């Protein structure tokens, strides 16, 4: 039964004025229990997680439908109550010198010694330094969610307003088991293939380059129009990375050129490991324009766990935050000097997804033990033990949305008080990936053929049913990056 008392106090009429308010934030949801790779886990770090089927289920064509969710009464537990607990004692910070590989391609001089959002012009106190139209150089009407189809090694480009799939692309020349995606402040996407390698795709056809020798631009027009690897021209680049696990992926903001209103010098963070080989975890920083690997940071001190680095997100200073699966190590790689710090997760929290809220605090979802928020300044954790889940994202209205597990649905938590606000059930096999689009809808991705667009105000949802073994929980729309870089 729907209980009004459990609803968030902020009026949700804002959902209809997103184009100017920029109200909600997407955070990073990288979940992975029941990850669909048939790989050998590192026995020393294996943790048993949710038993979920990832068998492919293909439909002939994508379809959309609407459903009204029966809302469960959300709890009213707060920090310090039975629904949330605090933990400060068991945090250990270990900072190590980074190992930087020989740079290939252009050097990254522009980021040296700087943090946060970088601008080419002086700050204007009257405008906050930003004069570009369309919300920091982005067209907020240009809203897509990019979802990996692990079963066919493709990537779907789904319009968040029309629920029409406008493109589907091979993510590697040979099957690569794609999963996490990340969208930059220009709207373009990168996707990590678990088997190794990162691909970038342009969101706008006018940015695509004629490379195949045929007249005009050849690019996919929808679900049933997957072009051959050598034909597709909206793939900007592909970079092969060595390893048996290539999962986390996250864009940095880059620099806004206010003369052109374009983002420049954007970078891509990702991580690789050889499973079963301790000490093989690496972080790579790629040139966003060319895909060239510019920096490599080795992390031999981090236990691989089941799958190596599992999820990743950036904060407002473009630092990369990652977790390992289940074994519970929180990792930070600084953007300015590539130094590394690690902290153990709270005892009992079996880590899964990760996001960063608008105040720069990483959150991790545990498929057991609760959802935890980390304070980088105090180096301490607080745990909401009443909620367990998989993927999660923070929004701009002061909430984190968690893909519920073992229950099916999405749950919101107040990022300050840790109060559980909303519990919205979803009729899905599993509610894995969570994201937020530019119009404030919360997206939930299953491991089957469905993506669910949830309206937090009405607590109803629409369904797109045309995916193929969907598997994504990350910054699928780009709102998460905008939220930490340019909070409203």
Domain boundaries, given as residue ranges, for the chain: 4-40+55-485
Look at residue 106 in the predicted model and tell me its pLDDT: 34
The whole-angstrom separation of Cα 287 and Cα 267 is 5
Q: Quick check: 266 and 220 in contact, CB under 8 A?
A: no
All residues at 6 or more sequence positions from 207 whose CB lies less than 8 Å from its CB, including other chains: 188, 234
Give yes or no for residue 102 having a pLDDT over 60. no
Q: Which of 442, 446, 439 is nearest to 466 (CA)?
A: 446
Identify the band that residue 67 occupies on the pLDDT scale cut at 50, 70 and 90: low
- Separation of alpha carbons 320 and 313, rounded Å: 6
The answer to whether residues 271 and 247 touch, using CB atoms and an 8 Å cutoff, is yes
How many whole angstroms separate alpha carbon 461 and alpha carbon 444? 10
Quick check: 239 pLDDT over 70? yes
**CATH number assigned to the domain with residue range 4-40+55-485, chosen from the 4 options 3.40.50.970, 3.40.605.10, 2.40.30.10, 2.130.10.10:** 2.130.10.10
Tell me the pLDDT band of 22, cut-offs 50, 70 and 90.
very low
Beta bridge partners of 219: none
Give the whole-angstrom CA distance, residue 446 versus residue 428: 7
In total, the chain counts a number of residues equal to 488
Contact 189, 181 (CB under 8 A): yes
**Predicted pLDDT of residue 16:** 28
Q: Which residue has the higher pLDDT, 434 or 37?
A: 434
CB–CB of 84/328 below 8 Å?
Answer: no
Whole-angstrom distance, CA of residue 341 vs CA of residue 454: 36
CB 318 within 8 A of CB 116: yes
pLDDT at residue 448 tops 50: yes
**pLDDT at residue 441 above 50?**
yes
Instruction: Please compute the mean of the pLDDT values over residues 145-151 and round it to a whole number.
Output: 96
**pLDDT tens across 85-95, in order?**
444 333 334 44
- Which run of H or of E encompasses 393? strand 389-394
The rounded percent of the chain whose pLDDT value lies above 90 is 67
Averaged pLDDT, 130-142: 58
C-alpha span between 426 and 448 (Å, rounded): 14
Q: By CB neighbour count within 10 A (0-12 exposed, 13-18 middle, 19+ buried), where does 191 fall? A: buried
CA distance 403 to 423: 10
pLDDT band at 27 (very low <50, low <70, confident <90, very high): very low
User: Where is average pLDDT lowest: 137-151, 206-220, 465-479?
Assistant: 137-151
Residues 6+ apart with CB under 8 A from 361: 373, 374, 375, 376, 415
Range in 51-55, 192-196, 262-266 the model is least confident about: 51-55
Strands 255-257 and 118-119: parallel
Contacts of 39 (CB under 8 A, 6+ apart): 244, 245, 275, 307
Distance between CA atoms of 462 and 297, rounded to whole angstroms?
42
Find out whether 251 and 267 touch, Cβ atoms under 8 Å.
yes
* Mean pLDDT value across the chain: 79
> pLDDT at residue 53 above 90?
no
Q: Is the pLDDT of residue 44 over 80?
A: no
Angle at 127 between CA 334 and CA 316, to 5 degrees: 15
Predicted pLDDT at 51: 36
Rounded mean pLDDT, 417-445? 96
Q: What is the DSSP string of 166-205?
A: EEEEESSSS---EEEEEE-TTS-EEEEETTS-EEEE-SSG
Q: Per-residue pLDDT for 59 more than 80?
A: no
The pair of structure tokens assigned to 206 is: 């006018």
Cα gap 419→73, rounded to integer Å: 13
216: Cα separation from own chain's centroid: 33
Is residue 292 a contact partner of residue 333, using CB atoms and an 8 Å limit? no
pLDDT value at residue 431: 96
Least confident of 30-39, 340-349, 432-441, 460-469: 30-39
CA distance 238 to 169: 12
């Amino acid at each position: 039964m729907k209980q009004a008392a459990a609803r968030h106090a902020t009026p949700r009429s804002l959902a209809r004025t997103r184009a100017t308010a920029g109200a909600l934030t997407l955070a990073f949801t990288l979940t992975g229990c029941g990850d669909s790779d048939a790989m050998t886990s590192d026995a020393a770090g294996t943790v048993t997680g949710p038993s979920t089927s990832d068998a492919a289920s293909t439909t002939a064509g994508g379809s959309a439908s609407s459903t009204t969710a029966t809302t469960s009464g959300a709890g009213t537990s707060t920090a310090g109550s039975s629904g949330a607990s605090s933990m400060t004692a068991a945090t250990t910070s270990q900072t190590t010198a980074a190992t930087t590989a020989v740079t290939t391609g252009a050097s990254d001089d522009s980021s040296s010694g700087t943090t946060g959002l970088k601008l080419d012009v002086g700050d204007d106190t009257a405008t906050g330094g930003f004069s570009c139209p369309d919300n920091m150089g982005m067209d907020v009407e240009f809203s897509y969610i990019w979802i990996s189809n692990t079963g066919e090694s493709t990537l779907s480009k789904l319009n968040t307003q029309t629920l029409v799939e406008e493109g589907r692309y091979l993510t590697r020349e040979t099957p690569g088991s794609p999963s996490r995606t990340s969208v930059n402040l220009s709207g373009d996407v990168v996707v990590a293939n678990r088997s190794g390698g990162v691909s970038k795709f342009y969101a706008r056809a006018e940015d695509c380059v004629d490379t195949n020798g045929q007249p005009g631009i050849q690019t996919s027009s929808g679900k049933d129009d997957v072009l051959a690897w050598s034909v597709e021209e909206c793939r900007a680049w592909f970079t092969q990375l060595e390893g048996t696990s290539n999962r986390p992926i996250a864009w940095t903001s880059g620099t806004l050129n206010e003369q052109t209103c374009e983002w420049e010098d954007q970078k891509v963070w990702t991580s690789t490991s050889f499973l079963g080989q301790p000490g093989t975890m690496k972080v790579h920083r790629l040139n966003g324009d060319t895909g060239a690997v510019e920096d490599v940071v080795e992390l031999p001190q981090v236990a691989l766990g089941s799958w190596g680095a599992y999820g990743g997100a950036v904060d407002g200073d473009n630092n990369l935050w990652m977790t390992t699966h289940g074994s519970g190590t929180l990792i930070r790689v600084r953007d300015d000097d590539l130094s590394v710090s690690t902290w153990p997760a709270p005892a009992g929290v079996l880590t899964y997804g990760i996001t960063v809220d608008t105040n720069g605090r990483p959150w991790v979802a545990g498929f057991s033990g609760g959802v935890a928020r980390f304070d980088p300044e105090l180096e301490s954790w607080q745990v909401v033990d009443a909620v367990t889940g998989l993927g999660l994202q923070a929004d701009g209205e002061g909430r984190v949305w968690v893909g519920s597990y073992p229950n099916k649905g999405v749950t919101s938590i107040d990022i300050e008080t840790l109060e559980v606000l909303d519990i919205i059930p979803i009729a899905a096999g599993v509610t894995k990936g969570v994201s937020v689009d530019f119009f404030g809808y919360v997206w939930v991705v299953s491991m089957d053929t469905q993506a669910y667009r949830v309206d937090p105000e009405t607590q109803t949802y629409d369904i797109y049913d045309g995916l193929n073994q969907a598997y994504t929980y990350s910054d699928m729309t780009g709102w998460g990056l905008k939220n930490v870089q340019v909070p409203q």
